[in-house]
Amino acid sequence: MMPFGYPGGGAAAAYYPPPMAPPTGASEASAPPAAASQLFAVTVPGRLMQLDWQAVGPARAIMNEDIASASEVPDVMVSMLPGSSLIAPDQAAVVYWSIDGVDWSLLGALSHATPSGMFRTGWGTLVAPGAAVRLAVSVEPLETARNLGLGASGEAVEDRKAFAAAIARDLWNFLTSFSQAVPGSVQASGGMMLVPTTVLDRWIERFNAKFARDPNFMLKASS
């Protein structure tokens, strides 16, 4: 049985998904074959799409090629292929990632309701520079995906609106840390704020440095 781990994995956090039968109503021909197959499309922006997977069981597969220099990959898109019958409507394809092929961490999940997703990786802080990452997929019940914190209706897909709002909050907090009261204005009631002319350049420099270390930093309460 191939072990998978929760995010931040390790032996103490190991998760072993139960053996899965082929999707309900699927024929033997629809199950992943032993040879390399094109099961899901994996796209890293700016790189070639990766399609080849190796089956390791009736409902599990590992991507044949590693994602090189993973620490430089803040986002990765995983998509079901057109006409795919690998999962039934009550199942999910749960995507995992690993550096060493032993400890596996959750990345996201796909379902008929959400056949593709752009997932934030966090590899900028979790993966050493130059190291590669390999993906794996396990077909599991939708309820299992929910229990792992991966919603069936796209909660695991990045929320661009929330991301933009978090960036705006980070900029506002940075600006207010430099602000000075403008004579004759009342800041608390919507007045003007006085900041250095270089404050935006300083924020961009700070933002880029923090984003390189952790693409999710602005979504964390401690940021």
Question: What does the DSSP assignment read for 130-167?
Answer: T--BEEEEEEEEHHHHHHTT--TTSTTS--HHHHHHHH
Domain boundary among 119, 147, 175: 147
- Residue 193: give the domain boundaries: 160-219
Q: Could you tell me the pLDDT band of residue 180, with boundaries at 50, 70 and 90?
A: low
Residue 154 lies in a domain: no
180 close to 129: Cβ distance less than 8 angstroms: no
Shared domain check, 142 and 178: no
Q: Which residue has the tokens 């931040």?
A: 8
Q: Does the reported pTM lie above 0.75?
A: no
Domain boundary among 91, 126, 147: 147
Query: What is the rounded distance in angstroms from the CA atom of residue 16 to the CA atom of residue 2?
Result: 7
- Render pLDDT for 56-74 as a digit per residue (tens, 0 to 9): 888 899 999 999 999 999 8
Beta bridge partners of residue 40, listed in sequence order = 80
- Render pLDDT for 4-29 as a digit per residue (tens, 0 to 9): 333 333 322 333 343 333 333 333 33
Shared domain check, 199 and 171: yes
Gyration radius from the chain CA atoms: 21
The number of helix segments (H) and strand segments (E) in the chain equals 4, 12
Shared domain check, 96 and 15: yes
Query: What is the rounded distance in angstroms from the CA atom of residue 223 to the CA atom of residue 210?
Result: 10
**Residue that wins the pLDDT comparison between 155 and 98:** 98
Shared domain check, 168 and 143: no
- Render pLDDT for 32-56 as a digit per residue (tens, 0 to 9): 333 457 889 999 999 999 999 998 8
Residue 153 lies in a domain: no
Shared domain check, 51 and 95: yes
* Count of domains for the chain: 2
Shared domain check, 193 and 130: no
Shared domain check, 120 and 16: yes
